[in-house]
Chain A
């Protein structure tokens, strides 16, 4: 699918989740932007590497990093921006396929899908952690540079 179409769709999905979670109305646009950037990075890395773990890590990292920047800019809790952006990255497809294969009694195939879903969730969590730590460190460095001046 063309990237511009993916951008529009992921924007709509993230803004929709912003409405479901009652995000402040004037920030809905930015929730959508965070979701769109995260999904586009995810999709691009997925096309390059064909490895869902890498692309989910990159997507979650981008979402959390952009959400931190927005949180600093608007002086709002970071969670407002990140929640809607994380949801498109959730391994719904592999979890679903795992469930489906359990019903069809293909337990080995089900285990394969389930472990992919587990690895993807792990890499999303790692992406969130890395973004958090990098923003904290960079804030400290910026603060120190400012105090030197």
Chain B
């Protein structure tokens, strides 16, 4: 009865993904422990959020994803997706997965690739054709749709990888290092796509070791290190430095700035710093690219 209630809560409530004491140890041929990839992990991911798995290489991000997808089996604990055991393939009807490197069949072209994966979802021909055409357009591969994937650049491969992950209009999208190997424009497009998915009500789980990517798009994150969960919470909450006050204003004179500094000093403020805020390098690069595309031939600004 309790299991049934939990199942109902998982299915109709907020929780899409649930891990309980989920752990993975890789063993050698003789069953001896070789590497502890994931220490017991408790996790809940809710409907409609972008959840980031953050951590350095080898921290257990990909292992967690593979466990949730049923690609590997847990050593202990259990994982549920849409209320079903992670090894139950029927859950995959509602999941889209983009692996770290788009592991696709290189001898197929873009249309054949999407048609093949559409068939795996048992889609009727008309729907396959319609969805494939829409996705090819969405990821900008219309001109290259008849080229074999072996001829694709890394960015193009990534885009067709995203398209195959979305062929079934999934409720849950799992993206492993989605911006890995992409140029800044590709990275931005990928981030825009992830945010677009959230706006459509999808749940997204992504892993990355690129802090800026995670910070930009994730609602909640889990920080993993050496297979262990170190931090879990909302990005805003985790990044807020509660004992530091930042003042940002536009159009102040030098006198007004000195007056504010004096006020802060009077109230016991330490290491007072007021100055112009910095933009990120990513934003600067994108501004330059956009500016160059808008006005071709313009020389770079001298610093």
Is this pair of chains taken from one and the same complex? no
Residues of B within 8 A of A (CB): none
Q: Which residues of A contact B (CB under 8 A)?
A: none
